[in-house]
Amino acid sequence: MGLASVEGAAAWMQGAGAGWHNLLIGYRQAMEAGQSIEGLRPIVSSAQGKPLCCLGSTVVLANGQTGLLLEGQGSAEEDSHQQAILSAIPDLLMRMTREGQCLYLGQGSDVVLWRDLDPRQRASIYDLLPYPLAKKRLHYTQQALATQTRQIYRQDIEVAGQLCHEEVRVIPMNDGEVLVIVRDITAIAEAERKLEEQTNLFRQQAQRDRVLAEVTQHISQSLDLQEVLNTAVTELRAMMQASRVMVYRFDGSEGGGRVIAEAVSQPTYSLRQVQVEDRCFAVSSPAVQAYRQGRIHRVADVQSSGLSPCYRAMLTQLGVRANLGLPILQGATLWGLLVCHQCDAPRSWSDLEVETLSQLANQLAIAIQKSELYEQVQQVNQELQHLATHDKLTGLANRRYFDDYLDQVWQRLTHERTPLSLVLLDIDHFKRYNDTHGHLAGDDCIEQVAMAIRRSIQRPANLAARYGGEEFAIILPNTDLAGAVRAAERVRQTIAQAHLPHGGIPNQPYVTVSLGIATTQPTALQSPHTLIDQADQALYQAKQQGRNRYIIAPGSAETALATHNGGHLSIAVAPPAQKGGHEVQHNH
C-alpha cells in the first residue's frame, strides 16, 4: 500500500481539479504531523460523469481533512506514478484484516520478502511469513484491534539464507483492518548487539580488574597463604559463574595431589581435600609435561575433545563437562594448578576468561613464593630463637631462658596463689669422670643425663635447663612439695637405671646425681632468687652427705630437713594439724 505524495498525485490528476490538489496538500501536512487516517475508496469520473478508474482510498484524518491513498487499478501512467511513490518508501506497508488476510502489500526498498508474491494478490498472512511469525503477526493484529492502540514488536526472520531483524508496527485503521509497517532494523540490531558485547566486555574487564586488585591487596597485606587462596577462588568463581574453581597442589608423589582451596556453586561439586591419585597426573605424563611448559588446558566439551582416555575418564569421574586449567609455577617447578570447571554443561571459554585466569595464576605464584619465603624466615628466626634460649649440647633451656621463665612463672603463681617447686641437680664426681674418660666422653655423659631428665619431666609447663657445666635445674609450676619429691626421685632413678659407666670412683660403677629440692608459695615480697638459694643449699647438703640422694631445703613449705640416699628412707613431714602439711613415705 503506497501513500501518495502531493506532487505525484497532483501530476497524475491533472484534470481532477484544484479541490483534490488542496486536499492532498492538507493530507501531507497531517501525515507529517503523525495524525491517524481512515477512509473510503472513491471513483474518479470524467467531466461528463463517466467513471475513469478507482483512484484509491479517500483518507480522513483526525482533524477532518481528507486525502488520497493510491491503491486502485488505473491507467499505465497511474501505475507508474504509484510505483515511483512506493519505491521511494523504505518500509514494507501492508493492510490486513482481523482474520489475517492481506488486502494490500507495498514492498519497501529496504525490506526483502520472505516469499515472492504479487503485491496485488490478497494472500493470507500464513502465505507471507513462516508459521510462528505469521501467528505472532496475527496476535498483534487482534491485540491492536481489540485495544485500538498501536502495537510494536521485533522479529527475526531468515530470508535467502540471511538473518534479518525487523521492527513491526501494527496500527488500527478501523474496527476490522490494520496498517502494518515493517522496517528492516538489521543494521540497528547489529549495532545494538555489538554495543551489548562491548558493554559486557567492559563489565567483565572491570570485574577482572577488581578481582585481581583484591587478590593483590590480600597478597600485600596477608602472609596467610590459605586466606589468599580462598579469596582468589571465591572471587573468581563469582565473576565467571562457574561450577567449580579450585587450586590443586601436587604433593610430589607419582600422580598425586589434593585440592587445597575451592569455591563451588553447590555443595555436591565440592572436592576439598580430595586426594587425587591418577597416572594421568604422573610426572612423566603428557598433561603434566604440558603444564610444566606453561601451557593452558582449554576444553569446551570433555566428551568430544581429543583428551587421552585416562584424562577424560578422570575428569568425567570428577563430574567435569568443560575444563580450563592453568599451571602455577615456582621457577621450573610445577607447584599446582588453578582450575575452572563447568559441571552442568559444555562451555566455550572466552579469551578474556583465559587471560583472567592467567593473570590470577601469576599473582598466586607470587603469593606462594612470598609465603614460602616468610616460612623460611620464620623457621630461621625460630632456630635463632632456639639457639639463643637453649643449650647447644643438650637441647635443654639455657641459663638465660631459665631466668626469664622463672620470673614469668613467679609472677603468675603470685596471682594464682599456687606453689612453685625447684629442683637443682648435679652429676656426682663429674671432674673425675672427665679426667678418666676425657672431655668428649664428658659431653656425651652430660647429653645422656639431659635425655634422662627430659624423659622424666614431660608436663608441658615444666622446664628443664642446663644451669651450668654439669649442673641442671627443673622448674615445676603448680607443684607442691610431694609432687616435687616424686619428680626428683623419678629423675634420680632414671639416671641410675641407665647404668652409664663411671669408672673414676671406687665402689661407684655408674653415673649418679645429687638433687636439692625447694618449694614455696611465691609472693610479691619475695624474689625467685630466694628459691634458687634454698635449692642450691639443699643440693650442697646432698653432696656433703654422700651424693646419689636428694635433700629438701629447710625453708621449703611445711618441711623439716630430710635426705634420701637411694636406700630406705622415711621423710617425715609435719602433721597436717600442726602446719597444714602432709606425710610422704619412700621405701626402696
**Exposed/middle/buried for residue 17 (C-beta within 10 Å: 0-12, 13-18, 19+):** exposed
Contact predicate 531/518, CB 8 Å:
yes
Q: What is the pTM of this model?
A: 0.53
Contact predicate 324/297, CB 8 Å:
yes
Question: ∠ at Cα 498 (491, 567), nearest 5°?
Answer: 60
Contact predicate 422/475, CB 8 Å:
yes
Do 369 and 403 lie in one domain? The reply is: no
Do 403 and 552 lie in one domain? The reply is: yes
Q: Which amino acid is at 216?
A: T
The mean pLDDT value for 506-517 works out to 92
Place of cell 530470508: 159
Q: Does residue 29 or residue 508 have the better pLDDT?
A: 508
Task: Output phi, psi for 244, to 5 deg.
Answer: -150, 135
- What's the CA gap between 581 and 520, in Å, rounded? 13
Q: Which grid cell is 102? A: 492481506
CATH number of the domain that 274 lies in?
3.30.450.40
* pLDDT at res. 539: 97
Contact predicate 166/182, CB 8 Å:
yes
pLDDT exceeds cutoff 70 at 225: yes
* pLDDT at res. 507: 81
What is the tens place of the pLDDT at every residue in 274-295? Answer: 777 666 667 677 777 888 888 8
Do 362 and 405 lie in one domain? The reply is: no
- What's the CA gap between 495 and 563, in Å, rounded? 18
Q: Which of 357, 373, 389 is the last residue of a domain?
A: 373
Do 348 and 492 lie in one domain? The reply is: no
Q: Give the residue from 402, 406, 333, 401 showing the smallest Cα distance to 372.
A: 333
Contact predicate 500/437, CB 8 Å:
no
Contact predicate 70/2, CB 8 Å:
yes
- What's the CA gap between 523 and 526, in Å, rounded? 5
Q: Does residue 267 or residue 566 have the better pLDDT?
A: 267
Do 457 and 567 lie in one domain? The reply is: yes
Task: Output phi, psi for 577, to 5 deg.
Answer: -65, -25
What is the greatest pairwise CA distance in the chain?
165
Residue 15 resides in a domain: no
Do 355 and 408 lie in one domain? The reply is: no
Residue 149 resides in a domain: no
Distances (CA, A) of 186 to 110, 193, 293: 10, 10, 46
Domain that holds residue 476: 399-586
- What's the CA gap between 251 and 266, in Å, rounded? 27
* pLDDT at res. 15: 44
CATH number of the domain that 457 lies in?
3.30.70.270
Distances (CA, A) of 157 to 112, 167, 195: 10, 11, 21
Number of helices (H), then strands (E), belonging to the chain: the values are 16, 26
Residue 526 resides in a domain: yes
Do 282 and 336 lie in one domain? The reply is: yes
Task: Output phi, psi for 376, to 5 deg.
Answer: -65, -45
Q: Which grid cell is 57? A: 482510498
Do 329 and 422 lie in one domain? The reply is: no
Q: What is the CA radius of gyration of the chain?
A: 50
Highest mean pLDDT: which of 29-38, 99-108, 553-562? 99-108
What is the tens place of the pLDDT at every residue in 452-486? Answer: 999 998 889 999 999 999 999 999 999 999 999 99
* pLDDT at res. 448: 94
Instruction: Find the DSSP H helices in 76-169.
Output: 76-87, 125-128, 131-147
pLDDT exceeds cutoff 80 at 362: yes
Residue 13 resides in a domain: no
- What's the CA gap between 393 and 445, in Å, rounded? 11
Torsion, Cα of 106, 110, 112, 118 (10° steps): 20
* Number of residues that make up the chain: 588
Do 361 and 427 lie in one domain? The reply is: no
Residue 3 resides in a domain: no
- What's the CA gap between 247 and 235, in Å, rounded? 13
Q: Which grid cell is 331? A: 621457577
Confidence of residue 109 (pLDDT cuts 50, 70, 90): low
What is the tens place of the pLDDT at every residue in 363-372? Answer: 889 888 888 8
* pLDDT at res. 195: 87
Q: Which of 331, 356, 373 is the last residue of a domain?
A: 373
Q: Out of 293-297, 345-349, 571-575, which region has the weakest mean confidence (pLDDT)?
A: 571-575
Q: What is the DSSP letter of 205?
A: H
Do 406 and 299 lie in one domain? The reply is: no
* pLDDT at res. 474: 97
Q: Which amino acid is at 277?
A: E
Do 413 and 514 lie in one domain? The reply is: yes
Do 447 and 563 lie in one domain? The reply is: yes
Residue 462 resides in a domain: yes
Arithmetic mean of pLDDT over the chain: 79
Q: Which amino acid is at 274?
A: V
* pLDDT at res. 8: 42
Number of domains the chain is built from: 2
- Give the pairing type, strands 51-54 and 56-61: unpaired
- What's the CA gap between 270 and 263, in Å, rounded? 8
What is the tens place of the pLDDT at every residue in 182-210? Answer: 888 888 888 888 888 888 878 877 877 88
* pLDDT at res. 184: 85
- What's the CA gap between 550 and 20, in Å, rounded? 138
- What's the CA gap between 22 and 65, in Å, rounded? 10
What is the tens place of the pLDDT at every residue in 19-37? Answer: 444 554 555 555 555 554 4
Confidence of residue 406 (pLDDT cuts 50, 70, 90): very high
Helix (H/G/I), strand (E/B), else coil: 488: helix
Residue 42 resides in a domain: no
- Give the pairing type, strands 513-520 and 550-552: parallel
**Which residues are bridge partners to 519 per DSSP?**
421
Confidence of residue 563 (pLDDT cuts 50, 70, 90): very low
Helix (H/G/I), strand (E/B), else coil: 115: coil
Q: Which of 333, 355, 373 is the last residue of a domain?
A: 373
Q: Which grid cell is 307? A: 583428551
Q: What is the DSSP letter of 167?
A: E
- What's the CA gap between 249 and 141, in Å, rounded? 63
Residue 96 resides in a domain: no
